[in-house]
Structures are given as C-alpha cells and as structure tokens.
Structure 1
Amino acid sequence: MRLFSFFLFYQAFSFLVVLVSSCSPEIKDGNFISISLSTSPTYRFNILGFNLYPNNSSPAIGTWNSGSQPSDNEIFVLKQSITRVYEFRPFISFYQNMIVEIPVASINNIGDHFIVSMSNNSENERFTIECDACNLNANGPEYWIKYHSSCLIKNLASGFCANGKDLQDNFVTQVDCLNASKWDLYGISPDMPKTSLPTIISSGSPTTISELGLIVIIAGSIIGTAFISFIIGYCIIKCKLSSRNVQSLQSLKIPHAINN
C-alpha cells in the first residue's frame, strides 16, 4: 500500500515539475527568428514556393534543409499579440500583412498543413509556444543562435501542435500535441559584428544576414520608395507649371501682335 501511495505521489510530483519547468519566450515584439526541428536543426519552417504576387497568396509551410543558416523564406517576425500568444509573419512580406495559419476549413482536421495567408486577425493565426528552456544565454560568433529549445507550437484555434519531419519539401501539419515535434527557435546573436554589411539571401543559395542588414534593407526600401514618389511628384508639378507659363506667354503675345 505504501509503495502504491509513493507511486501516486511520484507521478503527481513529476507532472508538477513538467508544468513548472515549461516556459514561453520572452521577446521584444518583432524579433527575427527561424524555427528548426530540435532533432534535426538544419530542417526549418520553410515557406514552400513563396512569392510576393497575390495570385500565390496561400503557400504551404514545410520543412527544408537549407544548411547551417536559414534562407530568406525561413525567417519570420515573431509578434506577440497578447501575453504568451504569438504570431509568425514572413520577413519577406514587406508590409507584414501575411501570416502563418491553419486554414479555417482545417481547424478540426488532424494531418492538415499550415499555410501562409493574408492576416485576418483571427485565432487560427495565433499560437502558444511552450519550451523546455527559454531565453538561453547563448553567445558566439555565429549570426543565428538558439534562444528557446524543445518547444511545442500549438495553434490557438485548433488546439493541435505543429509537426514536421527531417525530409525535404515535407508539409508541417497539425497533430495531437502528445505526438508533435519539438522545435528550437533561433534568433540573431547579440554578439554579431554591428558593422557587418547587409547581405540579401535567396532560397537557392542561402547566406547569413545580420540584424543591421535587415534594418538597412527595410529602411532602404522605404526611403527609396519615398524618393521615387518625390521625383515623380516634382516632375508632374514642374510640367504643369511649365504648361501654365507657356499659356501665359501666348496670351500676352496675341494682343501685342494685334496692336502692331
């Protein structure tokens, strides 16, 4: 009887330890991350076939091995809409209006895959993240380092968790959380050289990219767009003023000619 009581106590204590030891990432809203399988770190969340054109607005999330560094379609902006609730927005979507979600029609279906779609500010776009270890004090020369390890990523609407395999072009699907993959969240190292030049990365040949580089790319795009708009506006105004000046000169010349 005592042995049975001890067994019950041990089971209850183990359950409490699991509850206490799990954690969620503490982030600054808008952190750049990549999401890797804990068992195979080079296999990451990858936006399969993603492009910026609206007629391809719902590409699938799959796993892909891009080597030691994430490619451009494997970088996400981690947003925290409310406490302990997160959103994954593709970095290469410039306006940040696209988001990882489980389709509404798939909410109750185990085995259906996650997609990227336009954000509707709904529960199927939101996730909880429960990790074995969070906010690791990782340092080193690498650009991308592990911040949160062995995480379950659960969709808020379905209650199912993200599951992937170390296979190329394999969908990330939702399954019962007891059977789901564990994921590691990588971020940009705080020790990276701040003077490193920005590097644009492509899906075909991934290279590293620095936090400064990401900021410069975004700021450059905004400034470039504003400059082009300014030049176009200036040309239009100048053309209109020139046209008015010509008309004014013509109106002055006509009476002068008649008087002569």
Structure 2
Amino acid sequence: MIENKELEKIAATWRATCLRMSILGKHGHLSSSLCYIDILVYLYKNWLNFEGTDDRVADKFLLSKGHGCTALYVALADGGFIDKAALSTYAKPHSALQCHPCKHALNLLENSSGSLGQALGIASGIAIAQKKEQKNSKIVVLMGDGETNEGSVWESAMFIKAQQLNNVVAIVDYNNVQAVGKTDEISGQTDLAEKFASFGWHVKTIDGNSFLEIADAFDEFDTITDKPKFLLAKTTAGIDFIDKATDALWHYRIPSNDEYELALKQLNAEPMV
C-alpha cells in the first residue's frame, strides 16, 4: 500500500499532466478530470487489481462521465498500460486517446462513453456475466453528479440491488458543476446517498479529495459483501483559480499559459509529458 503523502505527490503530477494535455489537445472539460483524480489515484495504486488469476478475473473500472477522460488516460500511462508519450496526442486526429474514451480506438477500456448515464448499466451486465460464470471481481463505475439526472442511472441502481450484484461499486464525483451551471441549482439539492440507500445499497459520503477519507471508505467497502456499494465523493479541482470560479466556464475552458504556470507552481509538480 502506498502511503498518503506519496499518493498526494502522484495526484499533483497527474493534475499537472491533465493541464498539459488540455493545452496540447486544445480541448476542455478540464475540471471534470481534475476533481476525481485523488479517488482515481487511490483506486489504481491501492485498491484495484488489474491482473487476473486462474480463480479470479481482473478488477474493472468504467468511466461513465467520459468527458473527464484525461485523468483516466494519465492513470493508464502511469500504470504502464499505455505509453506515456501517447498522452501528447490527446484529442488529436487518429489518436487512440479521444476526447471521449472509445473502446474501438483503445481496446483495453471496459467501455466507450459519450451519452451519459450508460456505464452503470454496462457494469450490471459485466456483473451478471460474472455471477453466471461463478467468477467475481471489483467492478467500479465513476459517474458525474450531473449524470444522475439520467433515468438510466436509477434503472441500473434498482436492477443491481435486485439481482444482488454485490461486487459493484458506484462512485459519484460531486463537484456541483455540470454543463450549464451548478448541479444543486439545476437538479435541486437532492441527497444522492439517500436515494441509493433507498434502493438497498450500502452508502458512504466523503471528502473526495482527502486520501484519509478515501482510504477509510474503501476499507469499509471491503467488509461489505451483502450489498452493492455507493460512494458520494464531494470534490474540488484542486487548482485555486478553477475552484474559485463562480460560473461553469471551467467545464469547457483551456488554461492560458500564465494560468498553466500558476497551476504548476501551486501543485509543485511537473507533467509526465
């Protein structure tokens, strides 16, 4: 297990790399990646096992909010699943690293994305197949808060509990920003954890940028075997000028060179590319 201080350094490097990729690829949705990086670092470094064995299939990670894909690409590169040099091709023509993950372009992905609200249903299919084959792995789905506006999320949540697909973990990155404004203002101040609990899921709410709380949550999930698990992670981007913005423009914006240098100074980190 990697200690929290080291995880924080890794997260800073991943954030710096996402910033660099956004500039190189001339593509936004930057805050959508930055907010869940701490969770992704913990999953890829400490909790998920992507090496299958004879009696256990590899763990699965599905990114449902595909517009936040730079963080996933950085995780794959840092883990040795793709070449780090490929990160500089993000969002460019014919690159495998498109602005929404595409399984046809990058076959090691568990799912393609685009239309929101789909990956929890895909995860239920994977879990059903494992159950029938008497196999088992952790199946983790990461969604955005705005994505929970989609009815398909709730259909899948009900189905997963009804079928006792207890190896599924659903995470909502609650940064309170979606395409055109604040989630609380658009969808109302609804308690997503309460909703998942009403369907019979085991639920937990945390500060999604605290490695201490992240570790506690997944340690707890390891002890829960009779229910699917839901994590409501309240997050920020971890970059001061993005977190202080009062509008949703960082859902789309690319940092200027000055903003990029300011962010690197705050992070005290350099990008991987």
TM-score range, shorter chain: under 0.3
TM-score for both structures, normalised by structure 1: 0.24
Task: Specify which structure has the bigger relative contact order, considering alpha-carbon pairs within 8 angstroms and separated by 6 or more residues.
Answer: 2
TM-score for both structures, normalised by structure 2: 0.23
Structure number having the greater helix percentage: 2
Structure number having the greater strand percentage: 1
